[in-house]
Chains A and B, each alone.
Chain A
């Protein structure tokens, strides 16, 4: 009999598993928390709460359903919503005009994911995408600045998009 993955179910119920999960994913979770909450203190609170909740619910984690990373992000998403609500009802903070998450959370997650993918891209690829797409500069100008033929800028845009796709897939993004 083959029992797929039964030994890894509940993979977060031990403290050691939490430490490993923290080592693997805390950077990304924190990055997204900072981006969506706009405050490093709140982001720390959110990441802490995420791992504590994950540990508490560790028995329910099932790698057959989705990756640990996806699961942790789903928990963080809820934590950020709760934190946003709590902050909204806290007087003083709300009066200060700090509106929590004007950007809808799922959009923030998508944006963060794309930015993280960009960070993981090689410098050459990122550079041409930033110059041609985000800054809207002509290919000839970018080529002259980089000292390469215009065709090379175009092919870098192509290989850059391909690399982005691979990175996004590694990050668990599905279109």
Chain B
């Protein structure tokens, strides 16, 4: 039988033992004690992983850790507030100009509605917010399309790809033809939209395509006329 005190004496050697620092009689004595003491074996087993982690650390770095500059927190809060504001603006725009969201059927209904509202030909189309579905985690892409006499103006917002990524954008027409809209580079910390343009009329635009080098993302465009065309032609997406 071991007394508590005896255990304690041996136990206080377990640290040096776990580090491989114990020698001679002390080492032999402790090992003999461990043979017969499940409690001390358990304690050793709890220390072993910690001892194994020691070599990972660099003792030159045990001094005070560097602290972030005091203004970093405010900068982050400001970035988030700005992004929130932008998102809300988008939502307002979407409510105002969109209507045609949520599936082809809804798009077709909305398209008919819009045709009613704007009386068919000749009236200005509203700006279109397009949505990129099935984006990988961490990546967000948004685009707003505005009709012009020269074609379509594209406000493009990309976030979450590596900083410096070259993005190529084009619009896809009724028969799959591509109309380049230009390129831009995504930079961290830049929250502005890239403004691009393409010669393709918004009414004939079927999709917005963004190529980030590694991957290509496509968002369908459901402008009133386009939606009707899709309904008539049953064009595959």
Contact = CB atoms under 8 A, between A and B. Distances in A.
A62 interface: no
Contact of B163 (A27, A28, A53, A86): A86
A24 B135 CA distance: 31
Interface in A28-43: 28, 30-31, 34-35, 40, 43
A60 B96 CA distance: 28
B71 to A, nearest CB: 9
A151 B66 CA distance: 35
19 contacts: A28-B65, A30-B72, A45-B188, A47-B76, A48-B75, A48-B189, A56-B140, A57-B137, A57-B138, A111-B56, A114-B53, A114-B56, A118-B59, A118-B62, A154-B12, A155-B15, A158-B16, A161-B15, A161-B19
A61 interface: no
B56 A168 contact: no
B80 A51 contact: yes
Interface of A: 15, 18-19, 22-23, 26-28, 30-31, 34-35, 40, 43-45, 47-49, 51-53, 55-57, 78, 82-83, 85-86, 89-90, 107, 110-111, 114-116, 118-119, 126, 129-130, 132-135, 139, 151, 154-162, 164-165, 168, 175
B106 interface: no
A86 B165 CA distance: 8
Contacts of A82: 162-163
Interface string B50-91: 110110111101111111110011011101110110000000
A132 B19 contact: yes
A107 B56 CA distance: 8
Interface in B117-142: 137-138, 140
Contacts of A135: 59
Contacts of B79: 48, 52
B94 interface: no
Nearest to B51: A161
A165 B68 contact: no
B161 to A, nearest CB: 8
B50 A168 contact: yes
B66 A158 contact: no
A47 B57 contact: no
Contacts of A158: 11-16, 47
B186 to A, nearest CB: 10
B46 interface: yes
Contact of A19 (B15, B19, B73, B83): B73
Contact of B65 (A27, A89, A161): A27
B18 interface: yes
A161 B18 contact: yes
A130 B163 contact: no
B58 A111 contact: yes
B49 interface: yes
Given A52-B79, A116-B65, A162-B46, 16 more contacts: A28-B65, A34-B66, A45-B189, A52-B80, A56-B140, A57-B138, A86-B188, A114-B54, A119-B62, A119-B65, A126-B62, A139-B21, A154-B15, A158-B11, A158-B13, A161-B18
